[in-house]
Structure 1
């Protein structure tokens, strides 16, 4: 089985990450409309390369995880939040998502965080199972928070101590 390499993102990752983000878009995990040209940049002033860990298999970018502050408040600075996780279809089942999640936990600890949180759509069973297997627990549910593809979907809040 190929080895997943996780590394910090660089500005040169803009195009591969933007392509990956568009290719993996689905209402299974996104509440935003499908991206349309002209495409927004992947990196923004609010979320640059310093918040992204990249997964590579055989030198190709096959995934990313976005890790940032949960809020801009000083009283909340001990919490990091996962604000995005994507894995290329061709890399699913190779441990990429798990490797990214573990790297995010390690990075949050390195940054001095005490807690890691995330939000996941209720119907995204595979992601929820992955998060639970890595120590995340459901801390709250916002019932029918989103209307996606004609169905109401829960927003599930999960977290874990570090």
Structure 2
């Protein structure tokens, strides 16, 4: 395992990253952030017609992918083309607490700006305190709450909409 002070390398995903990203996604699945059922074999490819490699930034430590963030258009509307949305974010358990998530969010902000966005938004489950604190520390603010939007693990969970200007 790399030294704790090592900064992750952030890059655009490549088609060859599919299997490693799929394994990371399965390995980090939790109702803390996932609203879909736990993935079951046979596993679908990570990339598909809606989520291309170029829509993802990956974080590497010692040439292993330890995190990713997915940037997408918030909607297909031309009038909304100035907004990007984080529609996926994961950090491997062994890389948590080492700045990987923060580096990915900062890179996502810069990449969205580079792609011409004026705003960056995301949705996070109300009970996901670690993610919410990270987003707030990186300039995101709560813009709305959908109360009890999901029923997970026997309880209702809020869906929190957050955003920031670029």
Aligned counterpart, 2:86: 82
**Residue 20 (structure 1) shift:** 0.1
Q: How does 1:40-59 map to 2 (within 5 A)?
A: 40-59=44-63
Aligned counterpart, 2:147: 143
**Stretches of structure 2 lacking an aligned partner (at least 5 in a row):** none
SS at match of 1:128: helix
Query: 1:27 and 2:31 equivalent?
Result: yes
**Residue 71 (structure 1) shift:** 0.4
Query: 1:108 and 2:115 equivalent?
Result: no
Counterpart pick for 2:103 among 96, 99, 116: 99
**Residue 75 (structure 1) shift:** 0.2
TM-score, normalized by length of structure 1? 0.99
Deviations 1:19-68 (A, max 9, x none): 00000000000000000001111001011101000000111110000001
2-side partners of 1:27 and 1:34: how far apart? 9
**Residue 153 (structure 1) shift:** 0.1
**Stretches of structure 1 lacking an aligned partner (at least 5 in a row):** none
2-side partners of 1:121 and 1:24: how far apart? 15
2-side partners of 1:61 and 1:113: how far apart? 26
